Amino acid sequence: MRLAARPSGEVKPSDWEPADAEVPEPGEGEFAGRTLAISLDPAMRGWLDDRPSYVPPVGLGEVMRAGSVVEVTASRHPDYAVGDHVTGLFGVQTHVVSGGRGTLKVDLDRAPAATWLGALGLTGMTAYFGLLDVGALAEGETVVVSGAAGAVGTIVGQIARIKGCRVVGIAGGPEKCAMLVDELGFDAAIDYRAQDVRRALRPEVGDGIDVYFDNVGGEILDAALANLRRGARVVICGAISQYNSATGVKGPSNYLSLLVNRARMEGFVVFDYAKRYGEAAAEIAGWIADGSLTTREHVVQGTVDDFPDTLQMLFRGENVGKLVLELV
Amino acid sequence: MRLAARPSGEVKPSDWEPADAEVPEPGEGEFAGRTLAISLDPAMRGWLDDRPSYVPPVGLGEVMRAGSVVEVTASRHPDYAVGDHVTGLFGVQTHVVSGGRGTLKVDLDRAPAATWLGALGLTGMTAYFGLLDVGALAEGETVVVSGAAGAVGTIVGQIARIKGCRVVGIAGGPEKCAMLVDELGFDAAIDYRAQDVRRALRPEVGDGIDVYFDNVGGEILDAALANLRRGARVVICGAISQYNSATGVKGPSNYLSLLVNRARMEGFVVFDYAKRYGEAAAEIAGWIADGSLTTREHVVQGTVDDFPDTLQMLFRGENVGKLVLELV
């Protein structure tokens, strides 16, 4: 998929056009691969806007940026052999060529492709560094995470639980909320579609929130700000409720809670932690292996042509856990 | 002055009623004093609202909370003698009685009462700890301060200059802007009434703002957020543009700049630094003595009955530097 037009508000089918179907040959020092699975991430919406950000926008006519897992089909690179599996930002296309920079070989016998894009990929890194490093989580604290049933949220909540914290998730719908508590071990879950989040949080957070991990922005961010404890950390990971807004972002009107509570709100970009990915992946893999962390993947089977529709699932809240398009 | 009614939006004359005129006698372990000068602060507006904050709201019928300088007129306390001058949160009244807790003896031969309420008082402490501690200012950084011609702003900008930083002030009107540059040594000043602050900041801040010290909130906070440098610190000291809003606070729509720029926004309350006031006051006094810091006080002479009108000057931007009501 290539970006055909810059979307305003929600992304439309006409904003995309198919990429070339040709199968490329690797040059010297390159390998060629066939895409097995593509990661779908809320941050993708931001990459479509033509404005300065932490990465350049996807150019008009360019292949859409995306993380994926590929199988090497031909190689003129000494480190990659046919049959190897590799993750990287290879884009939304069936066949790729790469010089290997920024890629990582993965073992699909240890974990499926979706997990390498999820808990063991950038999703897991985002949860890990956002919560522990930016959020400076301490044992026994009270953590609230929004988008709790999403890719990052499911991992944030479980890491907080593993660290001995009380964890409250905010998600949409009774099924997601039940899953958080019954299957992932959250202490409580709030259904933002059915409940007044600000009021529902109050009895769940005791003396207030120590770390609020925000994936959604908007009214839910305000509800969390209204329930901070003194010295709280608000981690700004994303704002999925705002990305499709054509009328502008709603700023958090309760931001003066930062003053009253001597609290801080801080943003981060996971790429800054690249040198420490190994450390995080090893710890997360250990938690998966000993059963303390459950991975949740939502795998859609299809072709690259299904990318636009699958992406929209994120903004409609239709996924549970990591959303992945598996090419069949 | 006592609070007669809780204001909605701008404070009205009918929200106040006179306090008793009686001259109280000190009890055992107390002293009595006559008020010489009263501090007027934007934060006072917040103290009038009946909602949880960093201090309890002023109760209906209670004497308005305010810092002041008094002269001891009678004493049954061993540490205070008739003729001593003392600062403390004595309230908006002509005569006070105190047990001495939370007070500080001051020497009016060293500095006038207005300076003890300003640069050497909570105003100076707020600027000092907000900029250096919360803002974690480093030498050579770029600092922007809003409400720059106000009590805290004039000191923040000068401390930043003393610390070898580039300083840009945002203030209302050409006179204030000229004063900041010509008299206080700011590198540049932006007149928010005449200029598009977001655009005007761009050429003045080079690679972006390292520390933004916010006293005003609203559109100016958003303009600063749009000009952050990577790793920036946004210090939330106040939001004078929002305090009188009866329709609710405008949240900063550009808060996602915190994510893009890996920046943080942090609030603070000066009272938390009480144990370090001495350290700050000593350093500020040194800067005043060696001429590197110029104090700016706006002294209105009148009676306690002039408190309501004088307070409104803050919200109309009519003061330059520390606003003080001197009782005559």
Helices A151-162 and A122-129 pack at an angle, to 10 degrees, of 50
Does B222 contact A251 at a Cβ distance shorter than 8 Å?
Answer: yes
* Arithmetic mean of pLDDT, A214-219: 96
Higher local confidence (pLDDT), A69 or B248: A69
Q: Is the pLDDT of residue B21 over 80?
A: no
What pLDDT is stored for residue A138 in this prediction? 98
Measured in angstroms, the CA of A94 and the nearest CA of chain B are apart by 30
Structure confidence at residue B245 as a pLDDT band (50, 70, 90): confident
From the list B251, B261, B263, which residue is nearest A252 (CB)? B251
pLDDT class of A52 with cuts at 50, 70, 90: confident
Q: Which of B250, B256, B272 sits opposite A239 (nearest CB)?
A: B256
| Chain B residue with the nearest C-alpha to that of A253 | B251
pLDDT score of A8: 87
| E strand map for A155-289 | 166-171, 188-191, 209-214, 228-236, 264-267
Q: Do B253 and A248 touch (CB under 8 A)?
A: yes
Interval B62-73: pLDDT, tens: 999 999 999 999
Complex-level ipTM: 0.94
- Minimal Cα–Cα distance from B269 to chain A, Å? 7
The reply to whether residue A265 touches residue B260, judged by beta carbons under 8 angstroms, is no
pLDDT at B312: 94
pLDDT of amino acid A244: 84
Residue A116 has pLDDT above 90, yes or no: yes
Residue of A nearest to B259 (CA): A267
The 3-state secondary structure of B56-70 reads CCCCCCCECCCCEEE
> What is the least distance, in Å, from the CA of B21 to any CA of chain A?
34
Q: How confident is the model at residue B127 (pLDDT cuts 50, 70, 90)?
A: very high
Chain A residues close to B56, C-beta within 8 Å: none
Residue (of A179, A183, A182, A219) closest to A201 by Cα position: A219
Of A263, A245, A204, nearest to A7 (Cα)? A245
| Tens digits of residue pLDDT in A256-291 | 999 999 999 999 999 999 999 999 999 999 999 999
pLDDT (tens digit per residue) in B129-168: 999 999 999 999 999 999 999 999 999 999 999 999 999 9
Domains, chain A, with CATH or none: 2-118+297-327 (3.90.180.10), 122-268 (3.40.50.720)
Collect all residues with Cβ–Cβ distance below 8 Å to B275 and sequence separation of at least 6. none
Contact A242 B236 (CB under 8 A): no
Q: Are B252 and A254 inside 8 Å of each other by CB?
A: no
